[in-house]
Structure formats: C-alpha cells, structure tokens
Structure 1
C-alpha cells in the first residue's frame, strides 16, 4: 500500500496516468505515428516518380504535387481545427474526427497503387487516339491524389492536436523527441528498402501503405482515451448560432491579432520552406547526375539513421536551451551549408557531400524545433493556432513551389540553384526567429513564460 501511494502520477487535464499508463499511452501513440510516418515519408517520392513518368514539366509537377495539396490545406485545416477545438462528445474532441478522415487516406493510397492499370483501361475504353495512356493515367492519379490529400490534410490537423491533449505537459518534449525519432526511422526504412523499387513496384507499395495506415490510425482511435474538456470559450461561436463568416472572423482575429503570434508563425513558415526547393526536386537532381535510386536511397537511409541517433541528444539540448535558441543556431548553420553547396557542387561526389550535410542540418533543426509550437502557442486553442500555422505553410508553398518550377524550367533544369533559392527563404526565417525571441523574453522568458491569449491581449489594449 505504501508503494502504491508513492507511485508517480502524471496528469494531462482530467486524465491521470501511472508510469505504466504513460508507457502504454506512448506505445499506442507511437505505433500510430509509425503508420502515419511511413505514409508521410514514402508517398511523396513514390507518387512523384510515378507522375513524372507521365511526361509532365517541372512547373506542372510542382502544381500537382506541392501547390494543390497546400491549396486545400488553406481551407480545410482551419475549419476542422476550429471545429475540433470546440467539439465536445462522448469520444472526445479529436478521435471522432480522426475516425471519419482516415478512410479517405486509405482509399487514396490504394487507388494510387492501381493508377497505371486504371489509366491503361481508361485509355483503351475511350480510345488511345482521343485519350493517351499518359493523360488517362494522369487523370486517374489526380482523382486519387485529391482523395489522399483531403484525408491527409484533415488527419494531420487532428493527430498532432490529440497528442497535445493527452500527453502530460511535463513529458511533451520527450514524447516529441520519440515522435521525431519514429518519423526518422520510417524514412530510413523506406529509403533503405523501398525507394529502389519505387518505379517498378509502386502498386504493392501503395496498397501496403494503405492497409498499414488503416490499422495504425484505428488502433489509436480504439486504444487512446481522451479526458473531459472544459466548455469551449464563450466567444459567440456556437456552431448552431454563428454564421460561417462570423466564425471565420473570430478565427482570424484570435490567431493573427497579436504581432507576437504573427512572428511565431512567419518564422516557422520561412524556416520550414527553406528546404522546399531541394526537397521537391532532389530525386530528379540525383538522377540527372547519374545517381541510381537504389544508391540514393541507401545514402538517405544512412542520413536518417544518423539523425535518429542524434535526435535524443538534440532533444536534450532543445529542453535545456529552448527551441527558439537552438532553432536560431541550427538555421544559421543551414544557411551556410546552402550557400556553400550552391557555389561548390559540380558532380556526384560534391552533391553527395553537401546533400548529406544539408539533410543532417535540417533534420537537426527539425528535432531542435519539434516542441516550438507546443511551447509557444496557447494550449486551450492549440489546434486552432496550429492550423493557422499550417494554413500559412500551405499558402507559402502554393506560391513558392510553382515559382521555383518556373525558375528551374528557365534555367534548363539546373538543379543546383535549389540551394540558393532555399537560402533566400531561410534568411527571412532566421530574422523572424530573432523577433520571436525578443517577444518570448517580454512574455516571461524561461522562468515565467505564459502564452498570451487573444482575449487578454485585447483587454490590455482596451485598458491602455
């Protein structure tokens, strides 16, 4: 009995956990994260190689693979996040949405696997003289890509918010380090064992991902329990009484009325997109230099393995020095790597050297910044604020990706310029991080930081 009384108890809202309970919670969340991460780390490469085989330009590629998904994020993620934050139901405020959005992802993945087969059938049915195999395949691909994107956008918004609700605040940094490690392991496994087969076995890769994703996400829905939440803030945004446009006004006023949160979001957007040019075209860059997909996959797997090993030490540094400080240091290093890479890369050897340096640096940045939003956004409105961030990330990608595609088309696909284009974006991100740091100190710093709420901010302005 004495041992039971002394047992450590962890709390997340109304949820209480023993150490055993925390371990089980982490196991189920990370199991779902493994399925989610494997899909996230695999689909872009496999789908990108597939759609490029249909003979499209770099510009069309960026519109389909980057801009269109991000365009849907602009509208869908804020809506579901806003509704989820304010939803109260028997199963919680996150899991009901997760259960409804997962099937779209599963159907989209399996459908992409059958795209070449369906494209051939559609072309033969209509007539190859009226609809070529490439165009028919592109249409089929587009249909299932839309389904996958719809489900992915909605699921991603809810999955991160669920973890933020059920994991105790004292453990969120360590959980996110594990979360990040699982994602890196997924990337390592895909690049080591699947990327070399992406062009020849895409059907089985997509089907397997769909089945595995379904099992992983529904395991979370069945095994992870949400607590009781306080009634939503009475801002007049009741679903039954408030018009859509009035809700939109509340959303934008709460998320963007404070300069502090505008800088928080801008910093993350620009830093994240500093790697967009390279990430979008790295496979085609490697192929242009004569690097096989099998070799490229093994190099990338080695990078991810190194990143996994680094992640635990980096997580400790992030907790000790705060994500803003570690983000400033790692983003500064990334800019140096990008500029030097642009000046130096001329062949496969120099490409591999700087690709490895670049990827290790950005992965270090991502790990060091993993708890950035959890540490800075208000917990009560986390999903809403996070959706605002995702919306701005999407808008930026919609605008940046086609511009990069046009520039590369104009440069005759000279992909070395992706490094300097990324550096130009990263400079803005680094400047924004310095601004965020000044606000962070203003709102209490390491010892007394409290995420300011929009209502409190408005009240202070009125009092002044």
Structure 2
C-alpha cells in the first residue's frame, strides 16, 4: 500500500479533507495507511533500540571491563562514528534524487547491516572462544574473555555504523512524509509504540538476559531486519525540488578525477559549514540539543552497573523500567498534543527543569535498592517526557528542505560532547571506587545548564516569528 494518496472526488460529492506534506497529498485513508506503516516500522525500530543497548551494557559488565572502557565503547565510540559519517550521510540524503526518493535508498542499505550486527553481538559468546582457539593454533595467545570482547567490538562497530547512518535519514523521512501540523501528535504515537516495546522487553525479557543473551539478540535482530525492511518497501516519498549543485569550479590545469573528487569534497564541506554554522541562532540550537542529550547520558549509560552495584536483580530492574514506561505511556499522546498547542521548545525547557529536580533528589538519596528504584522510575518518566517533547523540535526549527543536514550538524556537536563527557563520568566513578550516584550529580548540572541555554534560544526564536509565525532563517 502506498503512503502517497490523492483525493478522489466527483463533481457532486463534498470535498474531502486532505493533508499535505511537501508535494504529497493525503486523504484520511492515505493518512491512516501512512501512520500504520510508519508506526509498524517504529515498533521494530524501537525493539532494536530498547534491547541492543541494555543487553550490550550487561554483556560488557559480564566481561568485567572498567567503567572507562565501558563508557568509551557504549558512548564515545558511537559518537565518533556519528561525527564522521553523520554529516556525510545526511547531506547526501538531502541532495539525493532517485526513483525511491531521497531517504529510503539509504535505509534499504543500513537496515540489513544493523540487523546482522545485532545477530553478531548475540553470537559473540560463541564466536569468542572459537576465535581464541583459532588464534591459539597460530601461536597467538588470547583468552576467551578478550576474544569475546574483540568479537563484540567488531559487530558493535557494524551495528553502530548502520544505526547512526539510519538515524541521520529516518528523521528526515518522517519530516518529508508527515504533514507538519500533525508532527507533534505523530511523535506522541511514536512515543507510545516505543514505550510498549520497552514494556515488552523489560517486563518479560530483561530478566532472561543473563541466561538467554544469544537467542534474545538473534531473534530481535531478525525481527528488526524483516520488520523495518517491509516499511521501506511500502512507504513512498514524493518529489523534491532540486538543490544547487556542489560541483567545484573548473580548474585551468585540467586536473584529474582525483583532484576533482577532492575539490568536490572541500566544496561540499564548505557549503555544509557555511549553511549550518554561520548563524549564531543555529549554533545556540545545536548547543541546546547537545547539552540536553548529555544530560541523560550519565544515568542511561551507567544505570545497569549502578543497579548491579547495589545488588538489584535484572528482573527487578526490568520491572522498574516497565513501570516507568507504563506511566510514560499514559503521558505520551497528551504531551504530543501539548507540544502542538504550546510549542515543543517550551515543553522541553519545562521537562529539563523537572528532571534537574529529580536528579538532585537521586544524588542525595539513591543509595538503597528501594530508593534507587524510585529514582530510576522518575528518571525514565522525566527523560521520556523530554524525548517525547523534543521529537518534533528540530523539524520545527530547521529549514525544511535541508532538515537532515541541519540535524546532523546538531548531532555532530552532540557527538563531540559525548565523546568527552561520558568517559569523564566513567573515570570519576572508577576514581571514587564505583560510586555511581555521581551519575545523578553530573546529570543534574547538565540539566540546569541546558535549560538555561534553552531560554536563550527561546528569546531568539521569538525574533523569527515565534510559535505562530516562525520562519527558519537560511
């Protein structure tokens, strides 16, 4: 079923209500079909997101890596990949014009790679000893633990490469095909689907990770690959206006193709940085997104090691997460509606302020299993409120035709910040003897800082028209 639907009305029939997204026009039936396929895609996408990260965190701590190495692999390494490929993929996607659109061709490539990466991570406990035995026959000594870590690193690299590349494109696809006036409510529905995924995984599956790690990741990887590919084959993009060429000026010396490629890359890079970083307003927006993302990283990165340090079982941890997702489920669509009414920038500033108060409490009182359970439920609910509210913010602030490009610029700044910030937190935890409540302290400080930057962005945002008449500067 195609998501591109045009109204069919006879001269005597009343006009049907339609919605537009760029050159796409939807009737009610077309909009329902679009939402169905995108939400199905989000279900498989979110199952990947809700499972791969926590299971990878558990496996690394099972291998006994330090908190610094843990932070480097879980946070800094993916950020470095995002820094390298995010701008390239997003700019290529914005400028691509093909029979299947400008987003879906990229997703058709990255989805199988991410699925295979998940399957490989799940098989690392099997491949590790096999690799160690093979190297041993060659005279190279590598114990099973290190061999398993090497296998994990290889498949984790493939998984993160594909995941980050798809992040740069999937948001652009939504921006291209969903009518702008429905973005807030649509992202509210996305949030609901994501929370249902989280409840399913954490309530029924998280407690089984310690005994069924391989079979869980293999099955989820297969489910994601098949589910998301089906969406890529069903959604249809519209036509896009052409963008100016990035071809470098002709050179008098008639240089070869290698020089032309290098010149083209330099020209593209100059265009990218000029368009994205020449206005202080967008730099402020990027800084706000970066600080807000860093706010949640300390707790999210070290939440499972924190739970294990106070002897909370993975089953109890999963139940706490399921409770928080259930609460968030009741708030998701309402928050999406509030974003459409009050604007997501206002809502994100409010949720960051509330989150700072929650982490301030956690920094002082989350010392036992019971108090930690309260802290992580509140953490998940408030951070979930932020992610629901911020989901459509970039689409409201960035130029529509270059959304993925500007989104990647913000992601570049976030990548740089996370490459540095989380290893610092991990080093602090190692230095203090595994005192994990410092994750709450670090997150609280970042929440206050990001809320302050958000207020400055709001002041500039009103100069460009505010909630009612905003026009993204270019």
Cα deviations across residues 224-267 of structure 1 (Å, max 9, x unaligned)?
00111001134657998752122111111111111111111111
State the Cα RMSD in Å.
1.7
1:275 maps to what in 2? 296
What's the offset of the Cα at 1:447?
2.2
Give the alignment of 1:89-238 within 5 angstroms. 89-127=98-136, 130-234=141-245
Which segment is superposed worse, 423-432 or 292-301? Answer: 423-432
Q: Is the 8 A contact 1:332 1:430 kept in 2?
A: yes
Whole-angstrom CA distance in 1 between matches of 2:60 and 2:42 = 27
Cα deviations across residues 50-107 of structure 1 (Å, max 9, x unaligned)?
1222221010111111111110000101001001101111111111111112121121
Cα deviations across residues 119-156 of structure 1 (Å, max 9, x unaligned)?
11112233398110001101111111111111111111
Query: Secondary structure of 1:209's partner?
Result: helix
1:459 maps to what in 2? none
1:30 maps to what in 2? 39
1:407 maps to what in 2? 428
Q: Is the 8 A contact 1:377 1:385 kept in 2?
A: yes
Query: Secondary structure of 2:20's partner?
Result: strand
What's the offset of the Cα at 1:2?
6.3
What's the offset of the Cα at 1:108?
0.6
Q: Is the 8 A contact 1:81 1:157 kept in 2?
A: yes
Cα deviations across residues 369-392 of structure 1 (Å, max 9, x unaligned)?
221111111101100001111121
- Size of the aligned set, in residue pairs, is 453
Q: Determine if the alignment matches structure 1 residue 346 to structure 2 residue 357.
A: no
Whole-angstrom CA distance in 2 between matches of 1:311 and 1:32 = 18
Q: Determine if the alignment matches structure 1 residue 428 to structure 2 residue 449.
A: yes
Query: Secondary structure of 1:16's partner?
Result: strand
Q: Is the 8 A contact 1:165 1:226 kept in 2?
A: yes
Q: Is the 8 A contact 1:191 1:300 kept in 2?
A: yes
2:19 corresponds to which of 10, 18, 27 = 10
Whole-angstrom CA distance in 1 between matches of 2:417 and 2:12 = 54
**TM-score, normalised relative to structure 2:** 0.92
Whole-angstrom CA distance in 1 between matches of 2:334 and 2:131 = 53
Query: Secondary structure of 2:63's partner?
Result: coil
Q: Is the 8 A contact 2:320 2:376 kept in 1?
A: no
Whole-angstrom CA distance in 2 between matches of 1:349 and 1:102 = 40
1:376 maps to what in 2? 397
Whole-angstrom CA distance in 2 between matches of 1:51 and 1:353 = 25
Cα deviations across residues 190-228 of structure 1 (Å, max 9, x unaligned)?
111111111211111111121111112211221100111
Q: Determine if the alignment matches structure 1 residue 62 to structure 2 residue 71.
A: yes
1:386 corresponds to which of 400, 407, 416 = 407
Structure 2 stretches of 5 or more lacking a match? 1-9, 250-256
Q: Determine if the alignment matches structure 1 residue 85 to structure 2 residue 94.
A: yes
Q: Is the 8 A contact 1:271 1:425 kept in 2?
A: yes
Query: Secondary structure of 1:130's partner?
Result: coil
Q: Determine if the alignment matches structure 1 residue 296 to structure 2 residue 317.
A: yes
Whole-angstrom CA distance in 2 between matches of 1:31 and 1:304 = 19
Residues 264 and 237 of structure 1, relative CA distance in 2, 3 Å threshold: farther
Whole-angstrom CA distance in 2 between matches of 1:11 and 1:202 = 45
Which segment is superposed worse, 352-361 or 408-417? Answer: 352-361
Give the alignment of 1:308-319 within 5 angstroms. 308-319=329-340
Whole-angstrom CA distance in 2 between matches of 1:269 and 1:172 = 22
Cα deviations across residues 300-337 of structure 1 (Å, max 9, x unaligned)?
10110110111111112111111111112111111111
Whole-angstrom CA distance in 2 between matches of 1:396 and 1:362 = 19
Structure 1 stretches of 5 or more lacking a match? 454-464
Q: Is the 8 A contact 1:237 1:250 kept in 2?
A: no
Whole-angstrom CA distance in 2 between matches of 1:28 and 1:200 = 34
